[in-house]
Amino acid sequence: MPRRLLWLLPLAFALALLAWWGLQQWQGPRVSAYRVHAQPLVQDVVATGRVITPSRVNVASEVTGTVLQRLVERGQHVQPGQLLLRLRDDQARAQLEQARAALRQLLQQTRPQALAALRSADSALRLAQAQARRARAQAPSGALSQQALEQAEQAEQAARQQQAAARAAWDAARPGGAVQLQLQAAQAAAQAVAQRADIRAEAAGQVLTRNVEVGDTITPGQVLFTLARAGDTEVSLPVDEQNLHDLAVGQQARCITDGYPDRVVDASLVFIAPAVDTSSGTIELRLRVSDPPAWLRQDMTISCDLRTAQLRDALVVPDDALREREGRQARVLVLRGGKARAQDVRLGLRGLVASQVVQGLRSGDVVIADRSVRAGQRVRARLQGLPAAPASAAATGAAR
């Protein structure tokens, strides 16, 4: 009897193993799957752009000249009126001194002489008028000859002409007269030419580029410096036009630069371009960094995660479980009665790794992620956890 049992034990083990294998085959293979349930979901648009300023200023010269001194370097912050560059201005300074000297001559010599000449002409005219009156009074009685009368009248006329010329000269040389205005204009013009030798910043900002060295000869219109005007820093962000329906001014973003990947910069959407770039299928967004850190530099590459919508309680299914996805419609395989069953679903918000299901599934349903499984196949679920963090940025901003 014991010997017979020894023979039966292996046979029983083999039968049990065969039964277990048959059960496994009947139940189907284990495949990766998810149990869907409600959780927070964030929809973002992710894109890569560049740090810019809303305005850049090109600083150029108005005159031809030789650079005598350069006073700023790239990266330096400047204030309005700050001297950036000085040109050699010997000729301009000489012209300015000449204009100043002419004005001093008017004040110190020409004007006093004109006033003295007018006073002298006035006195001479009064004397000539008195003599002419006496001559006209004496001539009828024969006390004075006709020739003497004519000479007195001619002297009066000459004195009157001299007085008119002296008055005209004084009117030109008097304070506020034509000569003073002309000389002041000449001085202002010479001073303006001299001032053009000093190249100054018109607005506060940061020097981005400089294209000149001491000793260079520059010409009018040549760009010497490029300044980033002080103010809010912005991010130029091209995103795929397919994201337009999710975008709105005022949405918030978190950005990370390639140079400082461990530092986050907060920004907000302030501008959506009115036209799409037809060559890339993208539309430009402008994000404003209202409080830019000192390390944030112009033209840095920066990646931004722009939050477009969020839900606290959304029925979420991972994207790798979605099949035949087209717009808001998709299909999943749901495990029901030990078999994979096809189920059409309607989607809502889209995240980076998961999407909201608004119709077709209920909390607790098990969806199959394994792409090798077909509808109607018997399978067993090997459950995996849903994404721990809220999914984000389903739609990227890369050009198509």
pLDDT over 90 at 390, yes or no: no
Averaged pLDDT for residues 266-282: 92
Using pLDDT thresholds of 50, 70 and 90, give the confidence band for residue 57.
Answer: confident
- Fold held by 56-88+197-229: OB fold (Dihydrolipoamide Acetyltransferase, E2P) (2.40.50)
Q: Are 256 and 234 in contact (CB under 8 A)?
A: no
User: Cβ contacts of residue 70 below 8 Å, gap of 6+?
Assistant: 84, 85, 210, 212, 213, 214
Cα–Cα distance, 89 to 194 (Å, whole number): 6
Instruction: Give me the sign of the Cα torsion angle 123, 125, 130, 134.
Output: positive
pLDDT over 70 at 71, yes or no: yes
Q: Map out the domains of the chain as residue ranges.
A: 28-45+310-396, 56-88+197-229, 91-195
Cα–Cα distance, 167 to 120 (Å, whole number): 11
User: Cβ contacts of residue 38 below 8 Å, gap of 6+?
Assistant: 313, 314, 315, 316, 363
Cα–Cα distance, 127 to 159 (Å, whole number): 9
pLDDT over 50 at 176, yes or no: yes
The string of pLDDT tens digits covering residues 321-365 is 898 888 889 998 999 888 888 999 999 888 778 888 988 889 889
User: Would you say the pTM of this structure is higher than 0.75?
Assistant: no
* 115 three-state secondary structure: helix
Averaged pLDDT for residues 197-204: 86
**DSSP codes of every residue in 192-250:** HHHHTTEEE-SS-EEEEEE---TT-EE-TT-EEEEEEESS-EEEEEEEEGGGGGG--TT
pLDDT over 60 at 11, yes or no: no
- The position carrying tokens 């679903």 is 345
Cα–Cα distance, 385 to 353 (Å, whole number): 13
The chain-wide mean pLDDT, for the chain, equals 81
Using pLDDT thresholds of 50, 70 and 90, give the confidence band for residue 251.
Answer: very high
Averaged pLDDT for residues 148-170: 80
Q: What is the CATH number of domain 28-45+310-396?
A: 2.40.420.20
pLDDT over 90 at 32, yes or no: no
pLDDT at 391: 37
pLDDT at 4: 54
Using pLDDT thresholds of 50, 70 and 90, give the confidence band for residue 92.
Answer: low
Q: Are 33 and 364 in contact (CB under 8 A)?
A: no
